[in-house]
């Protein structure tokens, strides 16, 4: 009976130190993959850096250099380097 509180405390520690941060990381990556769009500069998990030229359901086409395009599964995108800023609309009141 004395080991039950210790066991429950260890489960809590494992949850807060391992499981919860991993779930957050997976959620953030899923959101990143869903927000990919044409023109984003991305880095794949293999280390290739390129610009997205086409987005499909489960894959994207990445241009690595002049005329070098590869198809990549979306979930292998590791990070988005710099997204192009949207151009501000001209304000006709000024």
CATH of the domain at 11: 2.30.30.140
86 in a domain, yes or no? no
Asked if residue 18 is part of any domain, the answer here is yes
User: What are 59's two structure tokens?
Assistant: 């894959």
Number of domains in the chain: 1
CA distance 55 to 91: 31
The verdict on residue 85 lying in a domain is: no
- Give the DSSP letter of residue 89: P
Task: Determine the pLDDT at residue 87.
Answer: 59
CA angle 47, 48, 50 (to 5 degrees): 140
The tokens for 55 are 């987005």
Structure confidence by residue, pLDDT tens digits, 48-93: 999 999 999 999 999 999 999 999 999 999 999 976 566 566 555 5
Which range of residues forms the domain containing residue 26? 3-80
Residue pLDDT, tens place only, 43-58:
999 999 999 999 999 9
Answer yes or no: is 56 within a domain. yes
pTM check: above 0.75: no
Q: For residue 13, what pLDDT is reported?
A: 93
């Amino acid at each position: 009976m004395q080991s039950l509180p210790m066991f429950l405390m260890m489960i809590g520690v494992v949850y807060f130190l391992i499981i919860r941060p991993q779930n957050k990381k997976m959620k953030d990556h899923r959101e990143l993959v869903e927000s990919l769009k044409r023109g984003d500069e991305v880095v794949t998990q293999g280390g290739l850096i390129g610009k997205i030229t086409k987005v499909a359901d489960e894959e994207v086409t990445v241009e690595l250099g002049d005329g070098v395009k590869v198809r990549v599964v979306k979930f292998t995108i590791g990070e988005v380097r710099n997204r192009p800023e949207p151009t501000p609309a001209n304000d006709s009141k000024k």
